[in-house]
Amino acid sequence: MLDLTYDAPKPKTLSGATGDWELVIGMEVHAQVATKAKLFSGASTRFGAEPNSNVAFVDAGMPGMLPVINEGCIRQAVKTGLGLKAEINLFSAFDRKNYFYPDLPQGYQISQLYHPIVGEGEVLVELGDGTARNVRIERIHLEQDAGKSIHDMDPHMSFVDLNRTGVALMEIVSRPDIRGPEEAAAYIAKLRQIMRYLGTCDGNMQSGNLRADVNVSVCRPGDYERYMETQDFGHLGTRCEIKNMNSMRFIQQAIDYEARRQIALLEDGKEVVQETRLFDPDKGETRSMRSKEEAHDYRYFPDPDLLPLEIEQDWVDEIAANLPELPDEKKARFIKDFGLSDYDASVLTAEHENAAYFEAVADGRDGKLAANWVINELFGRLKKEDHDITESPVSPAQLGGIVELITKGDISGKIAKELFEIVYTEGGDPAQIVEERGMKQVTDTGAIEASVDEVIAANPAQVEKAQANPKLAGWFVGQVMKATGGKANPKAVNEIVSKKLGL
């Protein structure tokens, strides 16, 4: 495998009245597992269905109903673990986390506290400025999602929809290795990217596919290094957990606010109380969720309805053997094989559909030129119309055709852009369009010479000026380009003009 190497970024520092403070962040990301059915029932996971229509009696917590695990969810969790270079636990088990809330009809969530299915792994989080953070993963466990409560449909009642109840989630728990709001956003983006490559989570944050609880604390410079050396949390500050955020922007705002709040407390001689907080996007601040405190006594115990989950190494090996190429590997390969810059390779591998499109365009052609056209022309044009790559009216073969025509010298860069616009709006085979509409670049020096001669003959005054000041030769080049409808090869025109003017 190819390796990407980066320097570690500097931690975010906030300066307080008594000196500098650093941020320490750990995250619990809840990713909805991409499966057709729920974790323990045969009800559908489809988003946006009629309320309470994707509900089996198991999900509704009806008496006597027993959970039966969906093998698809196990496979997806294992796949995700492998994608995060994590240890897969062949033995895992389910526990009950007990609490009462209207959208949790069982009265407990089935989760994996003591024996998670995935153990330690790591994620390389690039920050786009040539630095990257290696974030350690502590564990991934499978658990049930809760239902949805709607509070704004009636002044006195809350409305509960159990469609999401029992849908499988992967809770991905990181070590406190994230050192600033930007890193936190980049970390989620990277997890999302990897899971989308793997097909294990759709990663749609708006529909709640991907949500994060963020643990924030602050410490003095040097403390974190002492923690890393000893893994003793005593070197770090007291943390607060900000619950359930599904927007990258809010996550960053919440971290920033929370860190400043803690610094203000500490500098005031007060203590940070370990607690759960909620981010209020309207006010841009976090507030305490006191009501949750008592509910924190979850009285976990092994779920007596479920035997331990035992999987075979052969099965894990088979999944590993069929893993797709992951973002880091793909990016490294693009840099090496196509000579792309780190930035271009990042853009092209952000979504696997983009990468596949680019590879089809670059296949057997100039990779750098292909990257330029995909990123600058195609992505630019698609973005203008709010389309994504799957909606592109230009196929990779068509764009590849344009790239080929440029490489062969058949069309100039300027004509190529016109050609792209025609292919984008009208469709058709680029080579044929160039032929039919006479867009071919004139590289025939005889034809260019004739045109240069004509312009020189018609403008004796300009000839004199240009001979006195060679910088003015550009005027002739412009005239020839105009006369040939932009089809003359600019380099050839330049040379011939200089020669004819005796410069």
Partner 1 sequence: MSIDTDTARKVAHLARIKVEEDELPALAGEFNAILGFIEQLQEVDVEGVEPMTSVTPQRLKRRDDVVTDGDQQDKVLANAPDAREGFFAVPKVVE
Residue 68 makes contact with partner 1 by CB under 8 A: yes
Shortest distance (Å) from residue 320 CB to partner 1? 20
Options 23, 74, 405, 488; binder of partner 1; rule CB under 8 A: 74
DSSP annotation of 407:
H
Please, which residues have CB within 8 angstroms of residue 419's CB and are 6 or more apart in sequence? Answer: 402, 405, 411, 430, 433, 434, 439
Residue 247 makes contact with partner 1 by CB under 8 A: no
Residue whose tokens read 């053997």 = 321
Tokens for 178, please give them. 């994230």
Residue 101 makes contact with partner 1 by CB under 8 A: yes
Candidates 245-253, 299-307, 398-406, 420-428 — which segment interacts with partner 1 by CB under 8 A?
299-307
Nearer to partner 1, 166 or 400 (CB): 166
DSSP annotation of 363:
T
Residue 262 makes contact with partner 1 by CB under 8 A: no
Residue 113 makes contact with partner 1 by CB under 8 A: no
Shortest CA distance to 73 belongs to which of 43, 109, 111, 34? 34
Candidates 48-56, 222-230, 378-386, 465-473 — which segment interacts with partner 1 by CB under 8 A?
48-56
Candidates 78-86, 100-108, 133-141, 467-475 — which segment interacts with partner 1 by CB under 8 A?
100-108
Tokens for 162, please give them. 């159990």
Residue 73 makes contact with partner 1 by CB under 8 A: yes
DSSP reduced 3-state for 126: strand
Options 2, 8, 18, 53; binder of partner 1; rule CB under 8 A: 53
Candidates 33-41, 138-146, 182-190, 328-336 — which segment interacts with partner 1 by CB under 8 A?
33-41
Residue 132 makes contact with partner 1 by CB under 8 A: no
Shortest distance (Å) from residue 179 CB to partner 1? 29
DSSP annotation of 219:
E
Burial of residue 334 (CB within 10 Å: 0-12, 13-18, 19+) is: buried
* # of chain residues touching partner 1 (CB under 8 A): 53
What does the alpha-carbon distance between residue 487 and residue 489 come to, in Å, rounded to a whole number? Answer: 6
Shortest distance (Å) from residue 408 CB to partner 1? 50
Nearer to partner 1, 61 or 119 (CB): 61
Residues 476, 456 contacting (CB under 8 angstroms):
yes
Q: Provide the residue type at 260 as one letter.
A: R
Shortest distance (Å) from residue 125 CB to partner 1? 31
Shortest distance (Å) from residue 173 CB to partner 1? 23
Candidates 62-70, 327-335, 405-413, 456-464 — which segment interacts with partner 1 by CB under 8 A?
62-70
Q: How far is CA 245 from the centre of its chain?
A: 17
**Angstrom distances, CA of residue 137 to CA of 152, 166, 177, 271, 320:** 38, 25, 9, 29, 19
Residue 289 makes contact with partner 1 by CB under 8 A: yes
Residues 182, 173 contacting (CB under 8 angstroms):
no
Options 4, 14, 60, 320; binder of partner 1; rule CB under 8 A: 60
Residue 278 makes contact with partner 1 by CB under 8 A: yes
Residue whose tokens read 């109903």 = 65
Residue whose tokens read 């924030």 = 216
Where in 139-168 is the site for partner 1 (CB under 8 A)? Answer: 149-151, 153-162
Nearer to partner 1, 173 or 306 (CB): 306
Shortest distance (Å) from residue 119 CB to partner 1? 19
Shortest distance (Å) from residue 138 CB to partner 1? 24
**DSSP per residue, 266-331:** HHTT--PPP-EEEEETTTTEEEE-THHHHHT----EE-TTS--EE--HHHHHHHHHTPPPPHHHHH
Residue 245 makes contact with partner 1 by CB under 8 A: no
Please, which residues have CB within 8 angstroms of residue 145's CB and are 6 or more apart in sequence? Answer: 30, 32, 164, 165, 166, 167, 168, 169
Residue 98 makes contact with partner 1 by CB under 8 A: yes
Nearer to partner 1, 35 or 80 (CB): 35
Options 307, 323, 397, 450; binder of partner 1; rule CB under 8 A: 307
Residue 297 makes contact with partner 1 by CB under 8 A: yes
What phi and psi values does residue 389 have, to the nearest 5 degrees?
-60, -30
Residue 350 makes contact with partner 1 by CB under 8 A: no
Residue 114 makes contact with partner 1 by CB under 8 A: no
Residue 56 makes contact with partner 1 by CB under 8 A: yes
Bin 246: left if φ > 0, else alpha if -120 < ψ < 50, else beta: alpha
Residue 281 makes contact with partner 1 by CB under 8 A: no
Residues 262, 237 contacting (CB under 8 angstroms):
yes
Chain residues in the site for partner 1 (CB under 8 A): 35-37, 41-44, 50-58, 60, 68-74, 98, 100-102, 149-151, 153-162, 278, 289, 291-292, 294, 297, 299, 306-310
